[in-house]
A and B are shown apart, each in its own frame.
Chain A
Amino acid sequence: MNFKLVDFTLKSLKRNMTKKLSVIFIFTVLVFLLVSVFSISSSIKKELLISVDSLPELIVQKMSGGRQTLIPVERAFEIASIPGVNNAYDRVWGYYFFENVNVNFTILGLDFDLETYKKKYDNIIEMNSDIIDTSNTPFMIAGKGVVEIFNSYYNPNYFDFIKGNGKRMRTNIAGSFSDESALETNDVILMPIQNVRELFDIEEHLATDIVVRVPNPEEIDVVKQKIQFMYPDCRLVSRQDIEASYQNVFDYKSGLFLSLLIAAFVAFFILIYDKTSGLSLEDKREIGILKAVGWQVENILQIKFIEGAIISLFSFSFGTGLALFYVYTLQAPLLRNLFTGASYLKPEFDLLPIVDLQVLSLIFILTVPIYIMATIIPSWRAAIIDADEVMH
């Protein structure tokens, strides 16, 4: 490495700083947008995949006339006896519409002593200290989003649900989920199972669906076939189905960014086109001078390479740093709303810091070498013609 040429290039950049600033600005904005979008996307994807990981391997739903209906609880015992099934239990849940905010919350009935759930939720529930007695009155544990809406539009300590028979059911808000599980629990209300049955008017021998736990992933398909054979009126939803469904929604939202990114790329390629289509007279004159005083074409290409590398690496690093700060420190204001949806109930969760090296490498390859080439090619064209012509 000839540091005298590096020094010369730095001086050249310094004297052309105003010309280069627009390039650095566009380059930085492009990298910022790309890294921001991909970082938000990676974080949310990770969060969703964590959520999916906690889902049961199979969910059994009874179908009637093409729509889901209540399923007999006894089927859970029969399913549990299938080899390979570790556990099968019924779930009682439903959607409840809150008129004031025009939103549905998911109300899930839970046997709070049930080992699986206890293990999962014990460490992520913050209890409401105002509610002490939960033995006689119905109670609920709500997601952060639900609690916020109760605090803003209803009573922060209880809510009067209207049951299936038209009567009120006062339910204390006993606690809320912690921030860590925000994405998956934000619009969820947990209640003891008997309260949910009462609310949705579900009889004791019926349930909304049946959850099936199959520890060995190799056996899931076989178990699924067996259940389908036993109960042809049932639909079986696997974790993979839910994951695909999440992915579809997510990909759809990612698609919204395409227009933004395409616009950024168009700006970048206009810049590249402008650079490759020719040098200014001043640039050509300078190349002519360098050749006339004895520089070889390769020396000129070296300084142009250094120039392109300095501008593109600086813009790439600055844009990346800015994007990571914007996403993980500022939590991506504006952009994250596009990803998480414009629902009234916006999940409040922290974007997990994930640096996807593959994505960063891809952005690097799509921008830095292209820019360097765009800097070198026109200079090479000018340098290979006679210096005499260049100088005229």
Chain B
Amino acid sequence: MIKLESIYKNYNIGEHNESEVLKNISFLVKENDFTILRGPSGSGKSTILSIIGGLIKPTKGEVFVDGKSIAKLPDKFASLVRQEKIGFIFQKFNLIHELNTIDNITIPLLPGKLSRLEIEKRAEEILDDLSILNKKNVLVKKLSGGEQQRVAIARALINRPKIILADEPTANLDKKLSLSFIQIIKELKQKGITILLASHDPLFSELKCVDNFIDIQHGEIK
């Protein structure tokens, strides 16, 4: 489902402050796998997720998502891959605080062809699954941290992605909310979704449902 081949990523290329953040990263995530990228802050976990999601391009190497090479894909097509196959969950949720829950969730589908009614129906189903349907018209800035994260998860699921990329999803949550998040992730795995999660939270190391752990340190796989 996700395949990385000798990925390198350098920033500020050719400048005095050039830095190599990823070195020769290669791994494979099979369909419906739950994979954890582990490593300390600054080790390059988020950069790997950004490359897989097509948000940034690697300096060198190949990335395949669902069989399609995306490393050199023009921005327009990378967006399409994200729209069709990937759902992102960010560490800081990255919600638009002045919009309400349902408006935040439906954002990924607005440029598409689904009608407003269909989009809202789909959003309500997801909100119901995540037990926050009663918050659908509440501004997200008025929601608790846990609720905001559920909104972020709902937004990641609205386009029915095959892959979920989650970047430090429990970094801003307490243990109870983190466990609740893990429960949601388990359910997503049961539904056949491939999950790649970057975290240095020890909670994930104890999980039995995790298929693979990939340890990253200083931009390299250990």
Contacts and interface: CB of A to CB of B under 8 A. Distances in A.
Interface of A: 2-5, 7-8, 11, 15-16, 285-286, 288-299, 302, 384, 386-389, 391
8 contacts: A292-B94, A293-B83, A293-B107, A294-B83, A294-B159, A296-B111, A299-B110, A386-B50
A8 B56 contact: no
Nearest to A384: B75
Given A294-B83, A386-B56, A388-B50, A15 B76 contact: no
Interface in B20-48: 47
B98 A296 contact: no
Interface string B48-59: 001001011100
A11 B108 contact: no
A2 B111 contact: yes
Given A4-B111, A15-B99, A293-B88, 19 more contacts: A4-B119, A5-B111, A11-B103, A16-B98, A292-B82, A293-B82, A293-B107, A293-B108, A294-B83, A295-B108, A295-B111, A296-B75, A296-B79, A302-B111, A384-B75, A386-B55, A386-B57, A388-B50, A391-B90
Contacts of B111: 2, 4-5, 294-296, 299, 302
A129 B99 CA distance: 73
A290 B50 CA distance: 14
Contacts of A286: 96
- Give the interface size class of chain B: 20 to 34
B75 A297 contact: yes
Contacts of B94: 285, 288-289, 292, 391
B179 interface: no
Main secondary structure of the interface of A (DSSP, over half): helix
A288 to B, nearest CB: 8
Contact of B107 (A8, A298, A384, A387): A8
Contacts of B95: 289
Given A2-B111, A8-B107, A11-B99, A294 B79 contact: yes
Interface in B77-134: 79-80, 82-84, 86, 88, 90, 94-96, 98-99, 103, 107-108, 110-111, 116, 119
